[in-house]
Structure 1
Amino acid sequence: MKSMSLKAAVRDAVKIFQFDNWIRFYYIKSDGDSMTVEIPVDVLQRIEKEYPSLHTLADTMCGDIDYQKSHDIVCAHVAAHLDGAKYDTSVMPRVFDSPQFKIEMYVFNMWMKMHEPYLDEEVLFFSDWEEMWEEWNKLDEVRQYREKLVQSGQDPQSPSCDTVQ
C-alpha cells in the first residue's frame, strides 16, 4: 500500500530539491552562453553509495543544462520515485501546493543565501549540507521564524512541478 502521508512526501520532495540545489551550487560550469553539470566520477560513486535514490538524478543532470532542463529532470525524478511509487498518486500533486513545502523551500533558500560564503569556501558533500541544515534548523530563531511563516499564512515562492499529476 502506498503512503498517504503529506508530511513525509513534503520531506522527501524537499530533499530532492535540496539535492538539486547542491548539485547546481558546486557542479555547474559556465562556458559563455552554455552551462554544463560536471560531477566528478568519485562524487557520483559516493552519491550512489550514500544516496542511491538520488544517484539517477545526479547522473541525469550531467551534461548540458539550463533552468528548464534542470526543472524537468527534478520533476521527472519526483514523478518516477515518489508519485505512485512511494506515495499514493493523490499525494504528490498536493505537496507542491502545500504551505509546508513552500515554507521549507523558502527557508532552505534563505539558509543557502545566508551561508553562501561558507558553502563557497570548499566543495562540501551533500551530507555536510544536510548536517549543517539540520543544526541551523534547531536554532530557536529559525523555529520561531518558521512558526511565524506558518501562522501568517504567507505563501513564499517555491519551485513547482506541475508535470507531476
Structure 2
Amino acid sequence: MLRSVSVKNAIKDAIEIFQFDQWIRFYFVVEKDGQLHIEIPEDRIREIQENFPTLYPFADMINNSLLDYKRSQDNVCSFVASRLDGEKYDPTVLPQVFDDAQFKVEMYLFNVWQKMHESHLDEAYMDFGGWKEMYEGWNSLDEVKEYRTKLLESGTDPQIPTCGTAQ
C-alpha cells in the first residue's frame, strides 16, 4: 500500500478530526450525576454516518461515554493515529503534523472562530457540514488571512494542545 508523505494533506485531515471533536462536544455533551457525557442521538449518528463516513467511527467510538479533558484528548489522538498514521500517511508524517506551525495556527484560528461565533452556534443545532461551511467563509476573510500570516511569520506558538507521538 502506497502511503502519502504529504504533511500538508495530513494537517488538513488531522484538523478536520479535531474540529469534528469540537463540534461533537459543542452539541452533544450532557451532565449526569455531576459528570459530563457524550450523548449523540440515534438520528444524528445516522446523519453523521451518511454525511461523514470517515468521521463516523469517531462519533460511534465516543458516543455514550464519559468526557473530560484527558479522555477527549486521548480519544482524538488515538483516532488520528489509527486513521492516519501508517494507514493513510507514512509513519514519518504524523509526528511532523503536530509540530507544524500551520497546524497550530489553524487550530488556534478555529478556536477563535468558535469563541467569536458561540452565541450564533448555540442558537440552533448546525450539522458539521454547516460548521465547516461557516468556518471556511470566516476563514476566507482578508482580515483572517492577514492575521494567519502574522501568526505564521511571528513564529509565536499559539499553545494548542497536541498529541504526543512516539518517534
TM-score tier (shorter) = over 0.9
> Deviations for 1:131-163, whole angstroms, at most 9, x for unmatched residues?
001111111000000011111111111121104
**Residues 12 and 131 (structure 1), Cα distance of their counterparts in 2 relative to 1, 3 Å cut:** same
Runs of 4+ in 1 over 2 A off after TM superposition: none
Tell me what 2:45 maps to. Answer: 44
- Determine which of 79, 88, 91 is the counterpart of 2:90: 88
Letter in 1 for 2:148: R
Tell me what 1:123 maps to. Answer: 125
Letter in 1 for 2:13: D
- Determine which of 144, 152, 155 is the counterpart of 1:153: 155
**Residues 164 and 127 (structure 1), Cα distance of their counterparts in 2 relative to 1, 3 Å cut:** farther
Q: Give ranges in structure 2 of 5+ residues lacking alignment.
A: none
Tell me what 1:78 maps to. Answer: 80
Deviates more, 1:104-113 or 1:26-35: 26-35
Deviation (angstroms), 1:33: 2.7
Superposition TM-score, scaled by structure 1 size: 0.96
Asked whether 1:13 is paired with 2:2, we answer: no
Aligned-residue CA RMSD (Å): 1.1
Deviation (angstroms), 1:60: 1.1
Q: Give ranges in structure 1 of 5+ residues lacking alignment.
A: none
The count of aligned residue pairs is 165
Identity percentage of aligned residues: 51
Tell me what 1:134 maps to. Answer: 136
Give the Cα–Cα distance (whole angstroms) in 2 for the partners of residues 67 and 155 of structure 1.
Answer: 21
Give the Cα–Cα distance (whole angstroms) in 2 for the partners of residues 160 and 66 of structure 1.
Answer: 16
Letter in 2 for 1:82: L
Letter in 2 for 1:147: T
Contact 1:78-1:164 within 8 A present in 2 as well: no
Give the Cα–Cα distance (whole angstroms) in 2 for the partners of residues 69 and 87 of structure 1.
Answer: 25
Superposition TM-score, scaled by structure 2 size: 0.95
Give the Cα–Cα distance (whole angstroms) in 2 for the partners of residues 153 and 111 of structure 1.
Answer: 21
Tell me what 1:66 maps to. Answer: 68
* 3-state SS of paired residue (1:88): coil
Deviation (angstroms), 1:61: 1.1
* 3-state SS of paired residue (1:39): coil
